[in-house]
Amino acid sequence: MSTVEAPLYPIAVLIDELKNDDIQLRLDSIRRLSTIARALGEERTRSELIPFLSENNDDDDEVLLAMAEELGVFIPYVGGVEHAHVLLTPLETLCTVEETCVRDKAVESLCKIGSQMRENDLIEWFTPLVKRLAAGEWFTARVSACGLFHIAYPSAPETLKTELRSIYGQLCQDDMPMVRRSAASNLWKFAGTVESAHLKADIMQMFEDLTQDDQDTVRLLAVEGCAALGKLLEPQDCAARILPVIVTFSQDKSWRVRYMVANQLYELCEAVGPEPIRTDLLPAYVRLLRDNEAEVRIAAAGKVTKFCQILSPELAIQHILPCVKELSLDSSQHVRAALASVVMGMAPVLGKDATIEQLLPIFLSLLKDEFPDVRLNIISKLDQVNQVIGIDLLSQSLLPAIVELAEDRHWRVRLAIIEYIPLLANQLGVGFFDDKLGGLCMQWLQDKVYSIRDAAANNLKRLAEEFGPDWAMQHIIPQVLEIANDSHYLHRMTLLRAISLLGPVLGSEITRSKLLPVVVNASKDRVPNIKFNVAKVLQSLISVVDQSVVEKTIRPCLVELSEDPDVDVRYFAVQGLQSIDQVTMSS
């Protein structure tokens, strides 16, 4: 066909593969579109590559997605912003495809390009594109159009602005719910660019239409934008226009809408100012905390601390605290769990007296909850608890809960509590820890579940880091080393794991005198699994101990293992020996 000079060969292949039958090759080519563009030069990129891509619109969605992404950063390759408009054509086609993620990416890229384009070019090229998409035959085009108005609007002349607002208004009343959803979720972006007079008239009208939509999913997205929209308005306008809508929404028939309100209410409070909060939003929030749908209460309970922070302590104690009490006894465990994860944050807001008097009983009842997630959520916020009520009071009620969780029959619960042990140790201090929790830490080393034993070994390492080698020598090492005589080989394996973790923390001297003998002893175990794990541990300890110890103790042991009848043992022993040699050579 044609001859290509040898140095051009790779780039020629790259171009040819834009149309390869193998999707992976096409994808690779598209991802290197910028390389192709540079090889063709700006002129030919504009006149050939871009038109070529515009027609390449019935490819697989994965390829189209990659193309939409690449084109978003393509301005330098077509010759800078004055030529940026040529990129609009291929992206416009991508805005109409059926796959949502491709459309979203194309819209994102169009926004990126549009925000760099010159004002005249926007009017000449970008705005007509938005209008074409908004009038698209298929809903896909109209869905995409909604996300582009905020780029086109600011630079448009007055008449065009009026037209754009009216088009957006039509999109808010489109026949297809998909288009109305897109209009609802993009409204606040568009609103941010509209002049305040029109914002109050046109945009608020659209907002009100959307809030009265028949489709729950549309109203849902209208709520989501409420807070952002509210922040664009003056506080008094926000209170007059948005607040009533929110209050209505908080009593919507659909629990999903109320759920959304419960999630958004806090942000809206920032927009309206203190007085409406007290008169309108607080009652609405209290209603949501007492909603009969558990999902709504979960969302509301999760925001209880944030909400209290913007209220005065009196209001919080008077209105919110009674609800919190009810929620702590809620019939749904998920509500209680959501509450447990945030409730301690209320303490600083309420002050010490109210906390001890009112919050502590709630906190204690949650700590005794029958559902482990609730207790775990409380324990994970332990540092906050400690600051408020002090360690003595805490430890009395805390310990039974911890012991119970430590023996929970769900291993994931045990795992979660193990992960909090270093935090607990830090809060409770050495003395308290030794008495009560030391035993538990050893018990986990012999758990039935591997993940727990592994986590327990890790836990020992973190404790040793926390309390130092001396403490570890006294409180961990003797008990751990006893496991060497355990009859269960899996427990002996855990010991080896613990040693490999503890060695680096405890340092060379303790490792040599205490840990190494145990490991060497284990090399004579009858179970091959133990033996090759010994080889692995020895390998990991090479860097911990002195060269002389390596030569005197580790090497002979490995040599012996390298003659073991078991192939795996020999393999790991040889690996160990090799790494000794490497260390020796490099030193």
Partner 1 sequence: MNGGDEVVTAPAGPPQPLDWKFSQVFGERTAGEEVQEVDIISAIEFDKTGDHLATGDRGGRVVLFERTDTKDHDALRRDLERTDHPINRHPEFRYKTEFQSHEPEFDYLKSLEIEEKINKIRWCQTANRALFLLSTNDKTIKFWKVQEKKVKKISEMNLDPPKAVGNGCVASSSNSNSPTLCLANGGSSGNDFSFPPGGLPSLRLPVVTSQETNLVARCRRVYAHAHDYHINSISNNSDGETFISADDLRINLWNLEISNQSFNIVDVKPANMEDLTEVITSAEFHPTHCNMLVYSSSKGSIRLIDLRQSALCDSHAKLFEEPEAPGSRSFFTEIIASISDIKFAKDGRYMLSRDYMTLKLWDINMDSGPVSTFQVHEYLRPKLCDLYENDSIFDKFECCLSGDGLRVATGSYSNLFRIFGCAPGSTEATTLEASKNPMRRQVQTPSRPSRSLSSITRVVRRGAETSGVDANGNSFDFTTKLLHLAWHPTENSIACAAANSLYMYYA
Choosing from 63, 71, 95, 100, the residue that interacts with partner 1 (CB under 8 A) is 100
Q: Which is nearer to partner 1, 256 or 381 (CB)?
A: 256
Angle formed by the axes of helices 23-31 and 9-16, to 10°? 120
Choosing from 169, 235, 247, 255, the residue that interacts with partner 1 (CB under 8 A) is 255
Residue 41 touching partner 1 (CB under 8 A): yes
- 3-state DSSP assignment of residue 509: helix
Taking the complex as a whole, how short is the minimal distance between the CB of residue 53 and partner 1, in angstroms?
9
Taking the complex as a whole, how short is the minimal distance between the CB of residue 67 and partner 1, in angstroms?
14
Taking the complex as a whole, how short is the minimal distance between the CB of residue 498 and partner 1, in angstroms?
36
Choosing from 54, 89, 170, 217, the residue that interacts with partner 1 (CB under 8 A) is 217
Choosing from 120, 197, 214, 314, the residue that interacts with partner 1 (CB under 8 A) is 214
Taking the complex as a whole, how short is the minimal distance between the CB of residue 133 and partner 1, in angstroms?
13
Choose the binding region for partner 1 from 188-196, 253-261, 403-411, 520-528 (rule: CB under 8 A).
253-261
Taking the complex as a whole, how short is the minimal distance between the CB of residue 440 and partner 1, in angstroms?
35
Taking the complex as a whole, how short is the minimal distance between the CB of residue 137 and partner 1, in angstroms?
9
SS (H, E, C) 292-347: CCHHHHHHHHHCHHHHHHCCCHHHHHHHHHHHHHHHHCCCCHHHHHHHHHHHHHHH
Choosing from 54, 89, 170, 254, the residue that interacts with partner 1 (CB under 8 A) is 254
Choosing from 109, 127, 140, 459, the residue that interacts with partner 1 (CB under 8 A) is 140
Taking the complex as a whole, how short is the minimal distance between the CB of residue 298 and partner 1, in angstroms?
10
Residue 92 touching partner 1 (CB under 8 A): no
Report CA-CA distances (Å) from 17 to 14, 26, 29, 109, 214.
Answer: 5, 6, 6, 24, 49
Q: Which is nearer to partner 1, 9 or 450 (CB)?
A: 9
Among 78, 67, 168, 167, CA closest to 121: 78
H or E stretch at 578: helix 567-586
Query: How does DSSP assign 351-399, residue by residue?
Result: HHHHIIIIIHHHHHHHHT-SSHHHHHHHHHTHHHHHHHH-HHHHHHHHH
Taking the complex as a whole, how short is the minimal distance between the CB of residue 536 and partner 1, in angstroms?
35
Chain positions 143 to 182 lying near partner 1, rule: CB under 8 A, are 176-178, 181
- Residues 427, 382: contact at Cβ < 8 Å? yes
Q: Which is nearer to partner 1, 96 or 553 (CB)?
A: 96
Residue 447 touching partner 1 (CB under 8 A): no
Residue 147 φ/ψ, nearest 5 degrees: -85, 5
Chain positions 282 to 301 lying near partner 1, rule: CB under 8 A, are 292-295
Choosing from 23, 138, 201, 270, the residue that interacts with partner 1 (CB under 8 A) is 138
- In a 10 Å sphere around its CB, with 0-12 CB exposed, 13-18 middle and 19+ buried, how is residue 500 labelled? buried
Please state, in angstroms and rounded to a whole number, the distance separating the CA atoms of residues 150 and 115: 10
Taking the complex as a whole, how short is the minimal distance between the CB of residue 301 and partner 1, in angstroms?
15
Among 520, 514, 481, 522, CA closest to 498: 481
Q: What binding mask, one character per residue, do residues 47-86 give for partner 1 by CB under 8 A, x or -?
A: -xx--x--x--x----------------------------
**Residue given tokens 């001859």 in the structure block:** 3
- Residues 421, 429: contact at Cβ < 8 Å? no
Taking the complex as a whole, how short is the minimal distance between the CB of residue 13 and partner 1, in angstroms?
5
Kindly report the length of the chain: 587
Taking the complex as a whole, how short is the minimal distance between the CB of residue 174 and partner 1, in angstroms?
11
First-to-last CA distance in the chain?
61
Q: Which is nearer to partner 1, 26 or 531 (CB)?
A: 26
Residue 15 touching partner 1 (CB under 8 A): yes
How many of the chain's residues bind partner 1 (CB under 8 A)? 62
Please state, in angstroms and rounded to a whole number, the distance separating the CA atoms of residues 307 and 19: 57
- Could you tell me the two tokens for 58? 């019935």
**Residue given tokens 């080989």 in the structure block:** 489
Taking the complex as a whole, how short is the minimal distance between the CB of residue 335 and partner 1, in angstroms?
12
Q: Which is nearer to partner 1, 14 or 430 (CB)?
A: 14
Residue 29 touching partner 1 (CB under 8 A): yes
**Residue given tokens 């050579």 in the structure block:** 585
Q: What binding mask, one character per residue, do residues 416-445 give for partner 1 by CB under 8 A, x or -?
A: ------------------------------
Choosing from 108, 163, 209, 216, the residue that interacts with partner 1 (CB under 8 A) is 216
Please state, in angstroms and rounded to a whole number, the distance separating the CA atoms of residues 179 and 325: 43
Please state, in angstroms and rounded to a whole number, the distance separating the CA atoms of residues 521 and 503: 16
What CA dihedral angle connects 208, 214, 218 and 223, to 10 degrees? 50
Query: How does DSSP assign 70-108, residue by residue?
Result: HHTT-GGGGTSGGGGGGGHHHHHHHTTSS-HHHHHHHHH
Taking the complex as a whole, how short is the minimal distance between the CB of residue 330 and partner 1, in angstroms?
15
Choosing from 32, 200, 231, 570, the residue that interacts with partner 1 (CB under 8 A) is 32
Please state, in angstroms and rounded to a whole number, the distance separating the CA atoms of residues 519 and 510: 13
Please state, in angstroms and rounded to a whole number, the distance separating the CA atoms of residues 203 and 195: 10
Choose the binding region for partner 1 from 19-27, 111-119, 392-400, 578-586 (rule: CB under 8 A).
19-27
Choosing from 112, 132, 198, 256, the residue that interacts with partner 1 (CB under 8 A) is 256
Write out the residues near partner 1 by the rule CB under 8 A. 1-2, 4-5, 7-19, 21, 24-25, 28-29, 32, 35, 38-45, 48-49, 52, 55, 58, 96-100, 138-140, 176-178, 181, 214-217, 252-256, 292-295
